[in-house]
Amino acid sequence: MAAGEGGGRAPVCLCVLCGLPAAGKSSLGLTVLSTAAQLGWRATVVPYDDLIPGQAFHTRVEEEEDGAMHTEWKSHRQAVLQCIELFLKTPEVSAKLLSGRQINTAAWEQCVRVLRQPEAVDPSQADRAPLLFLLDDNFYYPSMRYEVFQLARKYSLGFCQVYLHCDVESCISRNQRRPEPVPTEVILEMVKRLEPPNPQKNSWETQSISLNTTDNLSKRDIQMVTELISSALRNPLSPVEDNAEQKEADRLKCATSVVHQADRACRRLISEAMRTARENQVSSEHMRCLASQLNESKATFLRSLREQLLQDSSFTQEEDLDVERVVKSAVDVFDREKTEILLKIINDPK
């Protein structure tokens, strides 16, 4: 029975697998599929890399320079969730109806085929068997994961998260052995942006576990994931919104918007500083040093700004906030740091 048709439907869980590229998400997904089959669950992996067109991933690297690119990227991600929602409502829906949803329809059809005709489930019990979606993506921002949580809450589904923690060197090494590796600079940039699940900060991330995947997964690791999913299936979310939680979500949304705009403003300031340094005939070696120091300062500044905004209880809905004023005030701080770094290089380039 489709989601939203009352208490008679089978339990459903959306499980987010998040972490750096090559952290082991796909391998974990395949292992969990095998375990799910033994338990009589209908399960599938939802691989964002296969579902979202390749060009969308290429524009992602440059998204902060152009808000339109950011919007396009987000719409692709939302299309994946829309497909899941459509399947929950109408499992027999044809992939042809999804052609306008910005995903690879053949890849999506492959995802849901195993749910419609699960080999490991008794045909007479198929409609009652628990349904599991394993969402395989980096999900490096909480806002990305929160969208999945919202979908689960809308339809009273189970929701949980598995964060795969793997050291950067291992990820890069594994990635380089792939047929189509992700550029190393993309992985390094993602390290700076990655915000693992934090139940202490985000109450909606309570159903989360972290696995160290630098080495091979153990039987205990798989058992922990299975127990987490089982718990989520038994304890679906309530569609009733909690006011405190909504304020938390609004704060997250606003913080993301402010940091995004601050990042763009900081990039412009860095470009101005580099131009000033060239006009002062700073050597190429010190130009590289200047760029490195400015970018490091920017990264630290943005992390600090985001943490500060999320901890500010008065920071609420974007409509009630003068975002431009908040961004300007914050960027003024970085502007002073930029000036100090620039003058030090120009006046004492030793």
Give tens-digit pLDDT for 118-136.
665 566 666 788 999 999 9
* pTM for this prediction: 0.67
Smallest Cα–Cα separation from 335: which of 258, 260, 279, 271? 271
Dist CA 140 CA 67 (whole Å): 19
Q: How many angstroms separate the CA atoms of 231 and 159, rounded?
A: 9
Give the model's confidence band at 32: pLDDT under 50 very low, under 70 low, under 90 confident, else very high. very high
The confidence score (pLDDT) of residue 13 equals 97
- Of residues 186 and 160, the one with the higher pLDDT is 160
- pLDDT, average across residues 26-38: 94
d(CA 118, CA 114): 5
Q: Is 22 in contact with 175 (CB distance < 8 Å)? A: yes
- Of 79 and 211, the one with more pLDDT: 211
Query: What pLDDT band is residue 228 in, cutting at 50, 70 and 90?
Result: very high
- Residue 326's pLDDT is 79
Distance CA 331, CA 268 (A): 11
User: Is 107 exposed, middle or buried, given 0-12, 13-18 or 19+ CB atoms closer than 10 A?
Assistant: middle
The one-character DSSP state at 101 is S
Give the residue extent of every domain in the chain.
12-234, 243-347
Residue 6 has pLDDT above 50, yes or no: no
**C-beta atoms surrounding 15 within 10 Å:** 27
State the Cα–Cα distance between residues 2 and 201, nearest whole angstrom: 33
pLDDT at 65 over 80: no
Neighbours of 149 (CB within 10 A): 23
| Homologous superfamily of 12-234 | P-loop containing nucleotide triphosphate hydrolases (3.40.50.300)
Q: What is the mean pLDDT of residues 308-323?
A: 61
* pLDDT greater at residue 257 or residue 6: 257
CA distances from 288 to 89, 122, 141, 269 (A): 55, 64, 29, 16
| The predicted structure's pLDDT at residue 85 | 92
Taking alpha carbons only, the member of 182, 185, 137 closest to residue 163 is 137
State residue 188's pLDDT score: 93
- What was the pLDDT predicted at 105? 83
